[in-house]
Amino acid sequence: MFSRIISTLLATFVLFLSSCVVDYAGEQGIEEAMKLHHELLTVDSHTDTPLRFFRTGTNLARKSDSRKGGGKLDFPRMKEGGLDAVFFAVFLGQSERTSEGNETARNRALTLFDSIHAVVGRNSEIAEIALSSSDLKTIAKKGKSAVYIGIENAYPIGRDLSLVERFYNMGARYITLCHTANNDVCDSSTDKDGEEHGGLSEFGAEVIMEMNRLGIMIDVSHVSDKSFFDVIEKSQAPVIASHSNSREVCENPRNLTDEMLLKLADNDGVIQLCVLSDYVTETEPFPERDSAKMTVREKYGDWNGLGDSTRNLFAAEWYAIDNIFPPRLANVSQFCDHVDHIVDLIGIDHVGFGSDFDGGAGLEGCYDVTELPNVTLELLRRGYSKSDLQKFWSGNLMRVMRDVETAAY
């Protein structure tokens, strides 16, 4: 008799639990996922949105249309997509490593810093510059969008170590050590001429130490494999990959191998996954689109040397290519395959989100910031908990940022 009562109670309890499980495939489940996403504290660790500041008509206070060249992110769409904070990149493409080239890069970087502060200042009722890990919650509680700053490519530093502190004082809280070509700091994963320094240069080692001293996160996206391991060995604080994916899932030199991911976990760092299709899945060749882009590049030359009006012309022709030859996009499910692989390999504590919006990123189902909840929905369907999602959307990155701040000396 007693055993039957226990069995009945257990069966009732199991039925109760099953009734509490949300079916995220259904309409109600989708609504629940959207609600949950907006309850999370969320950060995107990498966007190139400041490049749009020099285009006529750009206004981040106004909602624009990403399908019509309006960019992938603005403050109204951040609210719509449930994004609390964003890292704006001070991006410099690699050019000549001469005193003149370094000076041009430095001045361009300073202009970008000023423009970010100016844009946020003009929108102070809805946005605020963030400088520390604790600022995220403080600014979010005000109902504002938090704007952090990162530097993509250490090129504007040249060989002047004092500029690291100058850029820190202007708000830089991470530096991506290189871009698509080698610089004075380290070798790139995609330099057409291959290695130059054999990884991190001697000057690069000094830059790492200075970043550790100041409390600037070291970003290993874009660096060569050897540079990555050199940085991990040299740094006294955790590092980040602000916009990279898994090379095991998608073979691309910009992505991290399993060996690199394991070393990143040992470092207590984090990889922030991007939604740039070429890094999510191996796409079919599209020679017509590639040729059109090459024509625009050859027509205008080095982006760093262009004036603002010429940049507007460049951008207009560049984005027009999307209308003529629409990009072949990966999808949210393929993106989440990267999350699954990395979590299976090193756990949920070392993965986050760094879109690369306005730098070429966009997926089917996550084309701009308004569609970020679709990532949360897919991860919920795969069994991730709210606690897991909080780590993914900001907890892991903010832990690393806090550790870097604490390690500063």
Over residues 207-253, the pLDDT tens digits come to 999 999 999 999 999 999 999 999 999 999 999 999 999 999 999 99
Residue 17: pLDDT band (50, 70, 90) is very low
3-class DSSP assignment, residue 90:
strand
- Please report the pLDDT score of residue 160 as a whole number: 98
Residue 169: the pLDDT is 99
Q: Which two tokens stand for residue 388?
A: 């897991």
Residues 6+ apart with CB under 8 A from 226: 187, 195, 198, 199, 200
Rounded to an integer, the average pLDDT of 380-394 is 99
Which of the two residues, 73 and 317, has the higher pLDDT score?
A: 73
What the block records as the tokens of 351 is 């993965």
Predicted local confidence at residue 79, as pLDDT: 98
Q: Are 350 and 342 in contact (CB under 8 A)?
A: yes
Query: Is the per-residue pLDDT at 285 higher than 80?
Result: no
Cα separations in angstroms, 29 against 32, 40, 149, 283: 5, 17, 35, 31
pTM of the model: 0.90
Q: Determine the average pLDDT of the residues in 240-267.
A: 99
β strands within 204-325, DSSP E? 217-219, 240-241, 270-273
Residues in Cβ contact with 364 at an 8 Å cutoff, skipping those fewer than 6 apart: 329, 330, 331, 332
Looking at residue 6, what is its pLDDT? 52
Distance between CA atoms of 66 and 208, rounded to whole angstroms? Answer: 37
pLDDT at 7 over 80: no
CATH number 3.20.20.140 given to 26-284+329-407: yes
Can you give the pLDDT at residue 26? 77
Q: Does 363 score more than 90 pLDDT?
A: yes
For residues 353 and 272, give the distance between their C-alpha atoms in angstroms, rounded to a whole number.
4
Summarize the confidence of residues 296-324 as an average pLDDT.
78
